[in-house]
Structure 1
């Protein structure tokens, strides 16, 4: 029997601001290595004994998900949540979808933003729990702790694990909420506790039965959202109306902490949820002085410090720093004491309160056809760099408040302006008057790059009227 992975791909990851933001959260970033966390998680849960994964994500991320999956050659099922309702409805929706074709299936629910370097060992740990899950238990996975961590929930075992942390299922004694430091130190010393990774294995019929017993309203509403779901360009869109009435609740509060049939399996390998910049520093192999630098960062006489530049051409230099995190992007710079890394989310709250777009908006805006970024913004003008994937096309659209001037710097653009269609090649330009119905396409086999100069009284992304769109987006900035 194959295990069906369910990867949860929502969340904003505010503790890793400015690299992780609401419009482009951490699971899509390449924080450690070339692959994104989402791609690495997908690869970890792929292979012998595993069915193609089910991805649960939001509408704004659906094309980022498909683009990153295409890069690693994966074509899973993708469920679109109409709005964020926490993990309980998301996981239940996936279980109901899987149960339609395999009522006896085992499903593995997991976040898509964790780091598990030893994929083989982790898959073996999951397989070791399969028989217990088939027998009707909900099996959660606990991580061997190596420090008194206060940022995680913990799991109390009924038996002390062996020295090798062999993946042997045992009854779970209880869940422990995020502890204070003294409690965490006592649990670490006692040897009967594990970190709660938020990953669990269960048969779909067991999970559905648990919701029927403990959360019948959530089950009824989620089932309605699944039964009324619509297919859209290969995505499954859960129905908006029943979904909107769902309670915003985690799977732990909804079911896990109520059910008596919970087992735990220890995992003794390396794991991290990358829940803050201190975790990024720790997982990035600091040098002998405890220093981590990116390619465009230089540390001089620093100690226990992380220096990262995320923008090409922007050098970051630290001198005499100790226990400091510096993360520089084109539109925002974070400087924090490493011991206060968990408080970065407070910066996001403060920025939102003052109306700063940097709080939630990533400087590079990803779209199904490619991406763009602003190079300069002033009174009545904006300059963008736009990248269009091979074979991709922007929607047929017009604007009420702006005109545009496009200069192709790489590749060839097929441009529609009202009833005229023409090719614009490198070093050529074209003008789109205010109100003109227009579209840009990349007919080539390489990415097309152009510079767009906008002029007008209003330059917001919501000044778009779409007439045709191959990506079936609605009106508005992203549709």
Structure 2
């Protein structure tokens, strides 16, 4: 299985915990199976290895994050370095050409692209393998993961499948709606767009050449700073007619907000912190109405 983990963002919605200097995916706030602290990146990578120890993992990231990735994952993981941030379509195109032109992976092979920061059970990565198998079959140009919605969220885009089968052709996509419209989408059988794509390399190799002016990976890298900032959803997914979606109804959280992050954490404080009865009436002072995470530092 070939996997591209998208890790270019800085998670500024979690400021000041996460910022350009210290991105959320590298902060060790979760515990592994033996009680050691691990980051989002380490957790996802460990889960991938649990399901498929032979998976070829490549992290698509900005050059400012390379040292952090090497420090946490070592040298066994591939890294597709973005010279600057240009959103997900340029990042995925560059990573795809990196796999093909630099690593020599066949254009007939499938790759699964997913975010680096989902908080999920291991069955999520079993589903990723199934997406890769579906992409190899070639019945659809793209295969997406659609997450079964638990409430009418305004934070996610929606995928409306043609049928209620586990695997279905996609009828249409809907951008992030308000709660009332989201509820209508869910009544129609809509799924949350989890930001996961599977395809044969040749599909994005061709799409990139159609939409961008370059010759190969090295030329694309050299011209990267001149590329338009555009998401993979807008540039590719919404233009493609031959797409399938696989339903995923397992545990899934997008840790992009303080609420979802603190819900996933096992502890209220990390490090040396003091919590007692003197800590009261904090809600009155918390004008933003967000959870407060306490991280202590050792002397």
Kept in 2: contact 1:95–1:207 (CA 8 A): yes
Match of 1:256 among 237, 247, 257: 237
CA RMSD in angstroms, aligned pairs only: 2.8
Residues 191 and 40 (structure 1), Cα distance of their counterparts in 2 relative to 1, 3 Å cut: farther
2:34: which partner in 1? none
Matched, 1:56 2:54: no
How much has 1:80 moved relative to structure 2?
1.5
Q: Residue 229 of structure 2 aligns to a residue in which SS?
A: coil
Map of 1:337 onto structure 2 = 289
Q: Residues 182 and 140 (structure 1 numbering): CA distance in 2 closer, same or farther, change over 3 Å? A: same
| TM-score of the aligned structures, taking structure 2 as reference length | 0.85
Q: CA deviation at 1:321?
A: 5.3
In 2: Cα distance, 1:99 partner to 1:88 partner: 17
Partner of 1:129: 131
- 1:319 matches 2:271: no
Partner of 2:16: 18
Tell me how far apart the structure 2 counterparts of residues 210 and 130 of structure 1 sit (CA, whole Å). 19
- The question of 1:294 aligning with 2:265 is answered no
Aligned to 1:109: 113
- 8 Å contact from structure 1 (residues 99, 105) kept in 2: no
Whether contact under 8 Å (1:55, 1:77) holds in the other structure is: yes
Residue 227 (str. 1) matches residue 218 (str. 2): yes
Which whole-Å CA distance do the structure 2 matches of 1:278 and 1:196 have between them?
A: 19
Alignment gaps of 5+ in structure 1: 162-167, 229-237, 286-292, 296-309, 327-333, 345-362, 364-372, 376-384, 386-479
| 1-structure distance, mates of 2:113, 2:158 | 18
Q: In the TM superposition, what is the alpha-carbon distance from 1:18 to its structure 2 partner?
A: 1.5
C-alpha displacement of 1:180? 0.5
**Deviations 1:200-259 (CA, angstroms, capped at 9, x unpaired):** 11110122223344x1x2xx34x54x225xxxxxxxxx74x4111111111011111001
Equivalent pair of 1:98/1:105 in contact (CA under 8 Å):
no
The structural deviation recorded for 1:49 is: 7.5
Deviation track 1:13-60 (CA, whole Å, cap 9, x = no partner) reads 111111111111111113433211111122233343753201111121
- 1:396-411, aligned counterparts within 5 Å? none
Shift of 1:191: 5.2
1:103–1:19 distance in 2 versus 1, CA, 3 Å: same
Bigger share in strand: 1
For the residues of structure 2 that align with 1:209 and 1:261, how far apart are their CA atoms? 15
Structure 2 counterpart of 1:171:
169
Counterpart residue number, 1:366: none
Specify every segment of 5 or more residues in structure 2 that has no aligned partner in the other structure, as ranges.
32-36
Whole-angstrom distance in 2 between the partners of 1:115 and 1:83:
27
User: What pairs with 1:157-196 in structure 2 (closer than 5 Å)?
Assistant: 157-161=161-165, 168-188=166-186, 190=187, 192-196=189-193
Partner of 1:305: none
Superimposed CA distance per residue, residues 348-396 of structure 1 (whole angstroms, 9 cap, x where no aligned partner):
xxxxxxxxxxxxxxx9xxxxxxxxx9x9xxxxxxxxx9xxxxxxxxxxx
Task: Classify 1:314/1:245 alpha carbon distance in 2 versus 1 (closer, same or farther; 3 Å).
Answer: farther
- d(CA) in 1 for partners of 2:48, 2:65: 20
- Counterpart CA distance in 1 for 2:157 and 2:29 is 24
* Cα contact 1:95–1:208 (8 A) shared by 2: yes
Match in the other structure for 1:203:
200
Which has the larger Rg?
A: 1
What residue is the counterpart of 2:47 in the other structure?
A: 44
> Which one has more relative contact order, counting CA pairs under 8 Å at least 6 apart?
2
> What's the counterpart of residue 290 of structure 1?
none
Of 243, 247, 264 in structure 2, the residue corresponding to residue 266 of structure 1 is 247
8 A Cα contact 1:108 1:200, kept in partner = yes
